[in-house]
Structure 1
Amino acid sequence: MDLSATDAPRLDGKSIAAATTTVVLWASAFVAIRSAADHFTPGALALGRLAVGSAALLALLVYRREGPLPRAAWPGTAVSGVLWFGLYMVALNWGERQVDAGTAAMLVGIGPVLIALLGGWLLGEGFPRKLLAGMAVSFAGAVVVGVSMSTGGQGSSLLGIALCLGAAVAYAGGVVAQKPALRHGSPLQVTTYGCLIGAVACLPFAGRLVIEVAAAPLSATACVVYLGLFPTALAFTTWAYAVSRTTAGRMGATTYAVPALVVLMSWSLLGETPLPLTLLGGALCLAGVAVSRR
């Protein structure tokens, strides 16, 4: 089946606001992770983030009285929780310690492409031409950003490359698995239980987390709390809300705005002045998103 641009579900104003919130908060996560990485190991950082996110989501779920996750939503939520909330976060945190930021950005950039391909194949979303064209432009922009930030492979390792590729595959698999679950459970239910499952999968890192929280400065711990409350609890919920109203491929394409926002946030918050080539790559990412959203 081949969906045309006019056949695909269109986002309303609330869904667009939700998608925008997700993209901005996920971009801010890269800055926060960079600030906390000197004091937290990859697994401990993932568990701390998921623990805070799970606590906030559970409190909201009880407050809204949405009840337990429907049985039909469990398979997709469980797969998404293990792959996206658990494996993706640990693999990405670990991979970014083994390769430079530019290489990581290029490797993880295949995630939205995989989402579009898997969504078209497994979910019957088809392969709209404008979506594929926009993603091609955005992926080219991600490569340009990566090349401009790369250190020429210095410090990179085969393990790091494998971890970043694994993170991209886990991300794509988690998104595609989550989409059917949203037919049966609410965005808040699916996000809450997915985050809980991811936290349980990361429990082997609990010992390290306790040790590192005790030794870390307050600013680093505050970054972990921020990651749990906003880029996890809030952003994953707004993502689920938006993706329940459109295709996984189209939502995946919007995440190509993240590299451009990361460049701007790093510039303003961390004083990391981008090169002209980096700005060009960011502009291409945004242009591709604009094409894919048409």
Structure 2
Amino acid sequence: MNALPLSRGDLLRALAVVVIWGLNFVVMKVGLQGIGPMLLGALRFAAAALPFLLFVRFPRLPWRYVAGYGLAQGLGQFGFLFLGLQLGMTAGMASVVMQTQAFFTLLLAVPVLGERARWSQGLGLVVALGGLLLIATAHGDGPGQMTLAGFVLTLSAAFMWAVSNLVARLASRVADYEPFPFIVWSSLFPILPFVALALWMDGPRTVLDQLAGITWPAVLSVLFLAWLATLLAYSLWTRLLKRHPAGRVTPFSLLVPVVGLWAAWMFFGEWPLPLQWLGTGLVLMGLVVNQLGGWWSSVLLQRS
């Protein structure tokens, strides 16, 4: 297992992912204004996969890892997330609630991957969990408020994100694959399931009408989600997961709400409730404990 600290380059890659994914939730909301959630998923992954299949070789991996990642990260994570955003999840709170993936990843990585959790990781995640519980209690049904259905669906999306993190880590133990081909080919697998769900949930006529009336903001949203949020960000994220333990990489996603909350306020005028602000602060405090706890322990050991 690679136990080296993050290099400067890896740190910059992690921060680039944070910015892209922080803006991601606002872009999803824009896309969902004219496209159904399942159709948006189909278009996102079609744009991420189909233009590149003739130029990008299939990764040197058994196909089950590529398919498993595509279905967990594509259909699972974004199917739940798009539906949650449509059913009342605010963009800013979605960027916070999605960070429960760090809890799920750490909890699953111990039995599945055999990774050891530091005391600081456990403490940091407990603190952040308290913050997420505060956020969950502040749901409502009024305009601009987070609904309970949206919260539950977003929580389900976070769990599927954690599953995809584990698939990527397991794949790295099988072969030294390149992340970009892995993301391109894995994006192929959610397309048909998303199309089938769109036809079932919305009906063929509605799907055709949405495609015929698609607007430029929706097109730009699809391209942002496909090329930046999927191909670029997930390629960088997968590369980090290949090089470092999952418990070290995934907590960086807890910084996504900083960008997500700012973007939601700037573009949609969303302003979290006081309990949601308090919960967000605890989530970020949990990240600090998670990231700096190991360093602080090593400093104390050197002084003793």
Shorter-normalised TM range: 0.7 to 0.9
Match of 1:285 in 2: 283
Deviations 1:162-210 (A, max 9, x none): 5444323322211111112134111112212221222343232486655
Decide whether the 8 Å contact of 1:191 with 1:236 is kept in 2: yes
* Counterpart AA for 1:98: L
User: Partners in 1 of 2:162 and 2:76 — Cα distance?
Assistant: 12
Selected match of 2:72 from 67, 74, 83: 83
- The residue correspondences of 1:49-64 to structure 2 (distance < 5 A) are 49-55=44-50, 58=53, 62=55
Decide whether the 8 Å contact of 2:95 with 2:260 is kept in 1: no
* TM-score normalised by length of structure 2: 0.80
Deviation at 1:275, TM superposition (A): 4.8
Q: CA RMSD in A?
A: 3.0
Selected match of 1:119 from 109, 112, 125: 109
SS of residue in 1 equivalent to 2:189? helix
Structure 2 unaligned residues grouped into runs of 5+: 293-304
Q: Is residue 31 from structure 1 mapped to residue 11 from structure 2 by the alignment?
A: no
Deviations 1:11-63 (A, max 9, x none): 1111111111112111111001111212111100111111122246547xx3x
* TM-score normalised by length of structure 1: 0.82
Match of 2:185 in 1: 193
Q: Is residue 69 from structure 1 mapped to residue 59 from structure 2 by the alignment?
A: yes
Deviation at 1:137, TM superposition (A): 2.5
Match of 2:12 in 1: 17
SS of residue in 1 equivalent to 2:187? helix
**Percent identity over paired residues:** 24
* Counterpart AA for 2:255: A
Deviation at 1:225, TM superposition (A): 1.7
Which structure: larger Rg?
2
Deviations 1:214-254 (A, max 9, x none): 21322222212211111111111111111111112222222
* Counterpart AA for 1:15: D
Decide whether the 8 Å contact of 2:168 with 2:241 is kept in 1: no
* Counterpart AA for 1:32: V
SS of residue in 1 equivalent to 2:209? helix
Greater Cα shift, 92-101 or 104-113: 104-113
Match of 2:301 in 1: none
Q: Is residue 266 from structure 1 mapped to residue 258 from structure 2 by the alignment?
A: no
Decide whether the 8 Å contact of 2:88 with 2:147 is kept in 1: yes
Decide whether the 8 Å contact of 1:138 with 1:286 is kept in 2: yes
Selected match of 1:110 from 79, 83, 100: 100
Structure 1 unaligned residues grouped into runs of 5+: none
Match of 1:151 in 2: 140
Deviation at 1:115, TM superposition (A): 0.6
User: Partners in 2 of 1:118 and 1:239 — Cα distance?
Assistant: 18
Decide whether the 8 Å contact of 1:106 with 1:146 is kept in 2: no
Match of 1:135 in 2: 125
* Counterpart AA for 2:84: G
* Counterpart AA for 1:96: L
Selected match of 2:168 from 174, 178, 186: 178
Aligned length: 281
Greater Cα shift, 270-279 or 90-99: 270-279
Structure 1 residues 155 and 166 mapped into 2: Cα distance closer, same or farther (>3 Å)?
Answer: closer
